[in-house]
Structures are given as C-alpha cells and as structure tokens.
Structure 1
C-alpha cells in the first residue's frame, strides 16, 4: 500500500492530508493540547477527601464522565487549530497562536486553582476567564476557517457547563 498517490495528491491512509494541506500545524497543535491536558491532569484528584466532601449539584455527572468528554474535546481543539493555521494569513496565525496559548494555559490553570489549591472560588474565576478566552479563540478562528470554528463550539459549551458546576459548588459550600 502506498501513502501518496502517483499524482502527489491525497494520502490513502489519512484522508484530508493531501498535498494542499500541511500536517505540521496539526502536530504542533496536538503537542500543545496534550501538554496543556497533561499539565492540568496532574493537579486533579477526584478521590481526595476534600473533593468528595464538596457539595455538588445533583446535575453533576459522575467523575468518569469528565475524561471521557475531555478527550474528544482536546482532539477537536488540536484539529481546529491545525486546520485554521493552514487557512490563515500570517497575521491571523500570530493572533491564533496567542489566543490558543492563553486558552490552553487557562484550561490547565483551572485544575491547579480548583484541585491543587483547593479553591473552588479561584476555579470559578479561572473558568470565567476561560469562557471569555473561548469566545476570543472562536472569534479568531472565524476569520480564517468556519469548519475550524464550528469544531470549537462543543468545547466552549462544555466549558460553560463546567463554569455552571463551579458556580454551584461555590454557592452551596458554606466553608467557602
């Protein structure tokens, strides 16, 4: 089996990665996203007594749902970033790089502020900043690629849901 067609066109093993699309932005975005995800995951401890004792709303899903949801969301962030990079001008690329760096930093910082610092209030503050950052990233990608933008919408929606969960915990915890 050959990876590249005789005409130098599309890949048979990886559709959509033909001669017209550059693969390096996808790899760079994937590395950035995995780094942020790993940096945040180090701080998470859903088995700690502190976390188990927090008053959580009835509508909070079980702990196993979070990594199950985050995995495809992280994949779509990387795909969106790679695709948008390939469709963007040089100026738009720099804006995208800045917006994603801030976004992924806030994404990882939430885990550290909520779990490692044991501060739902700080987690809520970071979550609100992440929501604003998501809107900025969506606006930035929308200038270059609508499909890349659409791929980010579930991520933004999940973050808004996480913000609501954080707010509910802060509101119901008398110790805070």
Structure 2
C-alpha cells in the first residue's frame, strides 16, 4: 500500500512541478473545449488515487510472485511513460514530441487496464478514468500541435 501511495504522490508531484503555465503556454492556440487550467490538478489527483487503489487491489489479488512482478512491471513502465510527458511538452516546449510520447503513455495505461484484470476486475475498472483522461489529453495535445505547429528552434523560444 505504501508503494502504491508513493507511486501516486511522486507522479502527481512531479507532474505538477514539471508543468509550468507560463507565457509560452498561455500564447499557444488551444481548442475552445480545453478545460480550465485549474481542473487538471484535481483531475490527476483523483485519477492517480484510483490507480493507486487499483495497484493495492491487484497486488492483493496476485496469488504468486509472478503476478506481483507483472504488476510491478506494469506500474513501472507506466511511471516512466507518465513522467516523460510533462518535460517534453512544458520544459522542452515540444508538444509534437509529447504527442509522440503520449502514444506510449496511453499504451501503458491500456496495459494496466488489461493486465490487472486477472488479479482484480475492480482494479481494472479503476484504471478506466485514467485511460479516458489520457485519451482526452492525447486529443488535446494533437489539437495544440495542429493549431500551433511546427515546433522547434523558432517556436520553442520565449
């Protein structure tokens, strides 16, 4: 349980620390349907809390070391994929690279959803909001790239 809570806190904290809503971001063209900036923190708090709960349920449902190793691998891969998106988008100012990376993040969340099913059906369902939010975020990321691209040396400054 402690590891699951730490996973959620580190991801949430790192995501917040690596997300700088500065002039560069404010000047990007964004679709009208983008949620307000204040919504992202609470949304991620709920989503990562549910995913941590899913980890505990999956761990408890795993009957052997192989099952627990599978859960650790699924959450470890997701941790790396989740952690990479914000620096690509906000720190490096490369929404185009973040769009490429979000495919891996989405795949890691889908893998969690499917991979937890043998250990706990509830755990699998608790991942669905994460999958839905990352799907939404990927579409939002795509729209930002379409509205603002190309990115690179000229666009990444300022």
Q: Looking at secondary structure, tell me which structure has more helix per residue.
A: 2
**Higher RCO by CA contacts (8 Å cutoff, separation 6 or greater):** 2
Task: Please tell me whether residue 57 in structure 1 is matched to residue 31 in structure 2.
Answer: yes
- Look up the match of 1:70: 44
Gaps of 5+ in 2: 152-158
Contiguous gaps of at least 5 residues in structure 1: 1-25
Say if 1:36 and 1:105, in contact at 8 Å, map to a contact too: no
Q: Which has the larger radius of gyration?
A: 1
SS in 2 for 1:45: coil
- With normalisation by structure 2, the TM-score equals 0.91
CA RMSD of aligned residues (A): 1.0
- For residues 116-139 of structure 1, the C-alpha deviation after alignment (integer angstroms, 9 at most, x for no partner) is 111101111121111111111111
- Aligned-residue offset at 1:174: 3.7
Q: 2:89 aligns with which of 92, 114, 126?
A: 114
Tell me which stretches of 4 or more aligned residues in structure 1 moved more than 6 Å.
Answer: none
Q: How many residues align?
A: 150
Distance in 1 (CA, whole Å) between partners of 2:109 and 2:76 is 11
Q: Give the Cα separation in 2 of the matches to 1:146 and 1:104.
A: 21
Q: TM-score, normalised by structure 1?
A: 0.82
Taking the TM superposition and a 5 Å limit, the aligned residue runs for 1:99-138 are 99-138=74-113
